[in-house]
């Protein structure tokens, strides 16, 4: 589910924006959760980083949207911030707080739909679901960002992280499926590597964290292609 906050002191404008969001969600069979905050100070005081997108009105009483956005960025650097305004020149200042875009009041659905579709695509590309491992001692929850590489050991997969190793009874194919779309690639039949941790490739060896991992001849071309694509993508994120 995509969680969205609307920070808008005008109930009519907030309702209109919510209607646009739910209309898109209905057309695209998209799960969304919308929360409306009429008081920006209360929104900031209670903010815990639970939202994927924040729509922020620029002209509000008590605190304008630009000042509020600076405080929001101190709490959350990653949330997608969209300004809502009646005047385009105010929205131009959004680069100061890394705003992704702006929309003009009153919100019109055709323009909203185009911009919202891009946001949904962006969120889906960056989604990295947690991995829950059932080890011999209990359950362990890992984010893909914590995993350096996964290694096959007998009938188990060993998840190597900077804080330790975790074993789970599992095939490599199922581990690869669980981490699909999270920036992993096989360098041989027994090793699945987090491309974000690859420091370099020397011949048939990949430097992953502090370790040297063997690249097999059949996997080398596809592994290097995946690494190149991952590196190019990261430049624009």
Residue 231 has a pLDDT of: 78
Domain at 131-235: CATH architecture: Beta Barrel (2.40)
Domain ranges of the chain: 2-126, 131-235
pLDDT (mean) for 83-95: 68
Instruction: List the one residue out of 61, 62, 60, 95 whose CA is nearest residue 81.
Output: 95
pLDDT at 72: 93
- The mean pLDDT value for 88-110 works out to 75
Q: With respect to CATH, is domain 2-126 assigned 3.40.50.2300?
A: yes
* Residue 192 in this model has a pLDDT that exceeds 50: yes
Q: What is the pLDDT of residues 131-149, one digit of tens each?
A: 889 887 888 888 888 999 9
Query: Higher-confidence residue: 125 or 31?
Result: 31
Torsion angles phi and psi, residue 143, rounded to 5: -90, 150
Q: What is the DSSP letter of 197?
A: G
pLDDT at 236 over 70: no
Q: How far is CA 218 from the centre of its chain?
A: 32
């Amino acid at each position: 589910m995509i969680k969205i906050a609307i920070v808008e002191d005008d109930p009519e404008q907030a309702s209109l924006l919510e209607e646009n969001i739910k209309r898109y969600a209905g057309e695209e069979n998209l799960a969304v959760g919308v929360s409306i905050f009429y008081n920006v100070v209360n929104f900031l005081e209670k903010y815990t980083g639970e939202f994927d997108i924040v729509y922020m009105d620029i002209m509000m009483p008590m605190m304008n949207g630009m000042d509020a956005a600076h405080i929001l960025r101190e709490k959350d650097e990653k949330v997608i911030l969209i300004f809502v305004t009646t005047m385009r020149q105010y929205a131009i200042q959004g680069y100061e707080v890394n705003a992704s875009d702006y929309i003009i009041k009153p919100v019109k659905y055709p323009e909203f739909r185009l911009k919202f579709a891009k946001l949904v695509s962006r969120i889906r590309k960056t989604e990295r679901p947690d991995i829950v491992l059932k080890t011999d001692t209990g359950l362990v929850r890992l984010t893909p960002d914590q995993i350096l590489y996964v290694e096959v050991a007998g009938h188990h997969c060993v998840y190597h992280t900077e804080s330790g190793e975790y074993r789970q009874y599992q095939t490599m194919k199922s581990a690869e499926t669980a981490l699909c779309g999270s920036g992993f690639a096989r360098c041989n039949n027994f090793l699945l590597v987090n491309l974000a941790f690859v420091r370099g490739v020397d011949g048939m060896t990949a430097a992953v964290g502090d370790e040297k991992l063997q690249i097999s001849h059949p996997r080398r071309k596809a592994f290097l292609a995946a690494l190149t694509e991952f590196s190019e993508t990261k430049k624009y994120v």
